[in-house]
């Protein structure tokens, strides 16, 4: 029995829960049908069901949207997708008036009101509101990754992940910003980007009320600003870091690694923003961000925002040792060594100490012969 009072029927062979006898009867074909997929062993009640399923493995998508050319394995999926363009949402929630383009979305939404999660994992007792979510979750325990890329052999637990991954090879960026024409490979990245234009920062720090456009930025802020732990140390110079990612970035100073390769030429770069600037300058790929006051161009929104602060004369970061003010915390941090003899940067080749990172970088190139 579900939380809503709805009786659920359990499959005696696999434990799957079904809403009624009819669905249970249809489900039993999975265990007994002669229509079996040679790729994954899944069974179907008829040939049409097997044919439709096999398109997952073959990546065949014969049903194409006339508006945006997106393709689908089933005509029903195309019909549901078409409502994205028409805006039609015929399925309405009677509790909150929210509307949906597909009945399945409404059913899943209703469980948000009831708290019903009838699909339980027998390995960890985690529960889900949809059977598909349980199926996907089980792959966490089995390690099963049935969706393989035919170009690089990378494997994924969900079909949606491989569709997104394929854009790495094709360079396809179907999600375009209507305000600046910037394009993205995933809709979630476009949604995040739109906050650059709207100024929306929905993630607020409970300790200092600073706001962020992404939850990951809030998490990073909390760890780096409000926590003093630095568990990651550099094996070259001993410097400590609060995150493994910051240590990874720092190590490039010592190794000279250049992981960012231009897809148009043989140039390589240490930092992603260097590659981004190179693509704009050398290959006209991407969109420049222009200052509306002096028309100066930038490759990163952060640098444009900083530049605009300089126009406005805003310098909120004040040195505690002298009256000097700065636009950013990083500039204040770079200034503070002037008031101290502490040398936090060390060349691991010769042991010489330095106050500033740039100094040790320049020295390391000479010392190592790079």
Q: What is the pLDDT of residues 259-306, one digit of tens each?
A: 888 889 989 998 888 888 898 899 988 888 888 889 888 888 888 888
147 is a domain residue: no
Check residue 1 and give its pLDDT. Answer: 44
d(CA 81, CA 70): 9
Structural domain contains residue 272: yes
| Residue 150, helix vs strand vs coil | coil
For the cut 60, the answer to whether the pLDDT of residue 146 exceeds it is yes
Please give the average per-residue pLDDT across 74-90, as a whole number: 84
Mean pLDDT lowest among 139-143, 193-197, 225-229, 256-260: 225-229
The Cα 258–Cα 300 span in angstroms is 20
Query: In what helix (H) or strand (E) does residue 258 lie, and over which residues does it extend?
Result: none
What domain range is 253 assigned to?
232-342
Let me know if residue 10 belongs to a domain.
yes
Position 111 pLDDT exceeds 50: yes
- Which residues pair with residue 10 across a beta bridge? 17
In a domain, 280, yes or no: yes
pLDDT in tens, 161-179: 888 888 878 888 888 888 8
Distance CA 99, CA 91 (A): 5
Instruction: State the helix-helix crossing angle for 244-255 and 357-368, rounded to 10 degrees.
Output: 40
**pLDDT tens per residue, range 195-235:** 888 888 888 888 887 888 888 778 777 776 777 677 788 88
Q: How many domains does the chain have?
A: 2
Q: Is residue 267 part of a domain?
A: yes
In the chain, % helix, strand, coil (3-state, to 5) comes to: 40, 15, 45
pTM listed for this prediction: 0.37
- What's the whole-number average pLDDT of the chain? 82
Q: Is residue 119 part of a domain?
A: no
Last residue of a domain, one of 60, 82, 99: 60
Classify residue 284: in a domain, yes or no.
yes
Band of pLDDT at residue 33, cut at 50, 70 and 90 = low
Residue 2 pLDDT greater than 50, yes or no:
no
- Higher per-residue confidence, 93 vs 28: 93
More confident residue, 75 or 336: 75
CA 125 to chain centre: 27
Would you tell me how many other CB atoms lie within 10 Å of the CB of residue 93? 15
On whether residue 210 sits in a domain, the answer given is no
Q: Which of 37, 95, 99, 48 is nearest to 76 (CA)?
A: 48
Q: How do residues 296-335 score in pLDDT, each as one tens digit?
A: 888 888 888 888 878 888 777 788 888 888 888 778 877 8
* CATH code of the domain covering residue 269: 3.30.160.60
Buried b / exposed e across 101-129, counting CB within 10 Å, b at 16+? bbeebbebbbbeeeebbbbeeeeeeeebb
CA atoms within 13 A on the CB side of 59: 11
Tell me the CATH number at 9.
3.30.160
pLDDT above 70 (res 3): no
Tell which of 17, 32, 60 closes a domain: 60
């Amino acid at each position: 029995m579900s939380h809503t009072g709805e009786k659920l029927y359990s499959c005696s062979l696999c434990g799957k829960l079904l809403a009624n006898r009819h669905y249970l009867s249809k489900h039993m074909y999975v265990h007994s049908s002669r229509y079996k997929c040679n790729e994954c062993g899944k069974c179907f009640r008829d040939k049409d069901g097997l044919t439709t399923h096999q398109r997952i493995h073959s990546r065949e998508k014969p049903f194409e949207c006339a508006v945006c050319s997106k393709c689908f394995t089933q005509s029903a999926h195309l019909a549901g997708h078409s409502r994205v363009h028409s805006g039609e949402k015929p399925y309405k929630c009677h509790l909150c008036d929210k509307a949906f383009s597909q009945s399945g979305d409404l059913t899943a939404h209703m469980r948000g009101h009831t708290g019903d999660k009838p699909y339980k994992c027998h390995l960890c007792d985690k529960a889900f509101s949809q059977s598909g979510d349980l199926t996907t979750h089980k792959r966490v325990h089995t390690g099963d990754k049935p969706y393989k890329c035919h170009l690089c052999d990378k494997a994924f637990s969900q079909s949606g992940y491989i569709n997104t991954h394929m854009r790495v090879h094709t360079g396809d960026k179907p999600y375009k910003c209507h305000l600046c024409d910037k394009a993205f490979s995933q809709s979630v990245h476009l949604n995040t980007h739109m906050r650059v234009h709207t100024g929306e920062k929905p993630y607020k720090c409970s300790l200092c009320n600073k706001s962020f456009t992404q939850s990951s930025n809030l998490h990073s802020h909390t760890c780096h600003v409000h926590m003093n732990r630095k568990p990651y140390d550099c094996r070259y110079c001993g410097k400590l870091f609060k995150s493994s990612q910051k240590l990874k970035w720092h190590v490039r100073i010592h190794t000279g690694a250049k992981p960012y390769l231009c897809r148009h030429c043989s140039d390589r770069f240490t930092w992603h923003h260097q590659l981004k600037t190179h693509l704009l300058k050398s290959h006209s790929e991407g969109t420049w961000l222009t200052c509306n006051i002096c028309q100066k161009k930038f490759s990163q929104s952060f640098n444009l925002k900083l530049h605009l602060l300089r126009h406005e004369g805003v310098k909120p970061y004040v040195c505690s040792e002298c009256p000097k003010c700065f636009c950013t915390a990083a500039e204040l941090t770079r200034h503070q060594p002037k008031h101290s003899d502490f040398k936090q940067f060390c060349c691991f080749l010769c042991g010489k100490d330095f106050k500033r990172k740039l100094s040790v970088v320049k020295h390391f190139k000479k010392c190592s012969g790079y």
